[in-house]
Amino acid sequence: MGTSEPLLPDRDPFYRSTAALGGIEPGTILRTRAVKLALFGVVPQRISAWQLLYRSTDLRGRPEAAVTTVLLPWGADPAVPRPLLSFQCAIDAIAPMCFPSYALRQGARAWGAIPQLELPLIASALARGWAVSVPDHEGPGGHFGAAREPGYRALDGIRAALRFPVLGLSADTPVGLWGYSGGGLATTWAAELAADYAPELDIVGAVAGSPVGDPANAFVRLNGSPFAGFAMVFTAALRRAYPQLEQTLREHLSDEYLALLARAEHTATFPLLARFAGRDADRHARAGLAAMLNEPELRAVLDEIRPGAQAPAMPMLIVQAINDEVIAVADIDAQVERYRRRGAHVHYVRDRLSMHLPLQFLGAPAMIDWLADRFDDLPTGVPGTQTIWSVALSARARPRHAEFAALLARMLGSRPIGARYQRGPQIPQARRLRRVEAG
C-alpha cells in the first residue's frame, strides 16, 4: 500500500462480501489483509496491524459483514499468551472517513476524525503487551447511536480476533472492553449483550468513560449549543438506521434542515462541530421540536436506544466528569443506577475537575490500570460511587502520565510500539492454572 491514500470504506471492495452470510457463524472471518497505520495518517507507526472482514449481526438480527482492525505490539511473539482488548473508538460521525479502519491507516485523509486522536490510547494497550481489536462498531452504514448493533459488532470482532491465527490467541483468552464517549456507549452495548449473544467469551471487565447515558436527553441538551453538530449527526444516523422515521422527520423538519442533515453525513466530527455550532432544530421544526420528539415512532426509537435495560455480567468501571460540557453527569448517574438495580457490579468514578475531552486522556492511566488488574485476576473491590477531584492525581496514575508522554514521543518518532511498559505477567499464573484444571 505504501504511502498512497487508502480507499474509503464505501469504495473499497474489501468491505463487501459476496458470500451468503445466513448460514455462517457470527465472528467467522471472511477476508483478511495486512495494513500500515499512521498517526493522523501521516506519521508511520511500527505497529503490527491487520484488518478482518467478519460475519456479524445488524439491528434487526440480519447477518452482515463488518470490519475490525487487529493489532499486536511490534515484534510480538504470537506464542506468548496475552489478553485481548476490544477498543471501541468514539467515531461520533457517519462519514466513512471517520471509521477507524480507514482513519487509522497510513495515508488516510481523515482530518477531524476522533479515532485519529485515540491511536495513542490504543498504543498504550499495546505497550502493555496486549492484543487489540478496534471494530468499526457503527457498521458499514454509519449507524451512530443505534441500539444493540455496536455491541454485536464489537463482540463478533472479538470472536474474529480470537480465531485469527496470526495473533496467537485462543478461545479462553481473557478479554477486556474499553471505550469513551460514543465509544463508551458502544462498550456498554457490548457489555450488556455479551452474556446472551457471546457467552463463550471470557470478558473479565469493561471500562466505559462518559458513555452518553441517554442519547435522547443528549440530543435535546446539545441542540442549539456549541455542540449542536452532535445532535445533527445523531439525527442523520438514526434516519439511516431506522427507516420508519423518514416520514416523521420529513413531516416535521424543514427542507433546509433535511439538506443540512445530508451534508452532515459526509463531514468528519470536528469540522461538523465547527460548521453547525449553535444550530437549533427547533427553528426548523414546523410544529416545534417537542412535538416532533413526542411522535410515537420517534419516541419508541429514543426509548430503544437508551442503554441500561440489561445488567452487564462482567465488572464495570464507569468514569464521568461532573462538569462535562457534552454529556450530563445526571444521565450517567441514571445509567449506573439502572445497572445496579439489575444487579451489575459497577465501580463509578465522578471527576470534579475534568471536562469531556480532557478526561479521556487524563483518566486513561486509571482506566487501563483497572483493566490490567482484571487481566491479572486481582479482586475488584466493593462496587460503589466515588466522587473525587481528579482521576489523574492518584499515586498510581501520576507516573503513568510520564509513561504516556514517552509513548507519544515514540509514536511521533515512528519508533516501535512494543511491550516496553508492561507490568506483571500477560496472563496471570493463577488464571492459567484454573483453566488447566477446568479443562
Determine contact, residues 183/87, Cβ cutoff 8 Å: yes
Positive or negative torsion for Cα 45, 48, 53, 57: negative
- Output the average pLDDT for the chain: 93
Distances (CA, A) of 269 to 38, 133, 378: 19, 22, 38
Mean per-residue pLDDT, 24-35: 98
Residue 434: pLDDT band (50, 70, 90) is very low
Write down the pLDDT at residue 151.
98
Count the helices and strands in the chain (H runs, E runs).
16, 10
What is the identity of the amino acid at 140?
P
CB 50 within 8 A of CB 131: no
pLDDT of residue 301: 96
Closest CA to 55 of 90, 18, 87: 18
Spatial distance between the Cα atoms of 398 and 439, rounded to a whole number of angstroms: 41
- Length reported for the chain: 439
Residue 2 reports pLDDT greater than 60: no
How many other β-carbons are positioned within 10 Å of the β-carbon of residue 366? 23
Q: By mean pLDDT, which of 12-16, 273-277, 395-399, 435-439 is the weakest?
A: 435-439
Strand partners, 336: none
Residue 421 has pLDDT above 60, yes or no: no
Handedness of CA 26, 28, 31, 34 (dihedral sign): positive
Kindly indicate the confidence band of residue 396, based on its pLDDT and cuts at 50, 70 and 90. Answer: confident
Q: Catalogue the active-site residues.
A: 181, 324, 356
pLDDT at 427: 53
The pLDDT score that the predictor gives to residue 313 is: 96
DSSP 44: E
- What is the fold, at CATH topology level, of the domain defined by 13-214+306-438? Rossmann fold (3.40.50)
Closest CA to 124 of 427, 424, 418: 418
| More confident position, 422 or 378 | 378
Q: In the CATH scheme, what is the code of domain 215-304?
A: 1.10.260.130
Q: Cell numbers 449549543 label which residue?
A: 225
Percent of the chain with pLDDT over 90: 90
Distance CA 333, CA 69 (A): 32
CATH 3.40.50.1820 domain extents, the chain: 13-214+306-438
pLDDT tens digits, one per residue of 231-287: 999 999 999 999 999 999 999 999 999 999 999 999 999 999 999 999 999 999 999
Q: Which residues of the chain does CATH 1.10.260.130 include?
A: 215-304
User: Residue 433 above 50 pLDDT?
Assistant: no
- Please write the tens of the pLDDT for every residue from 309-334: 999 999 999 999 999 999 999 999 99
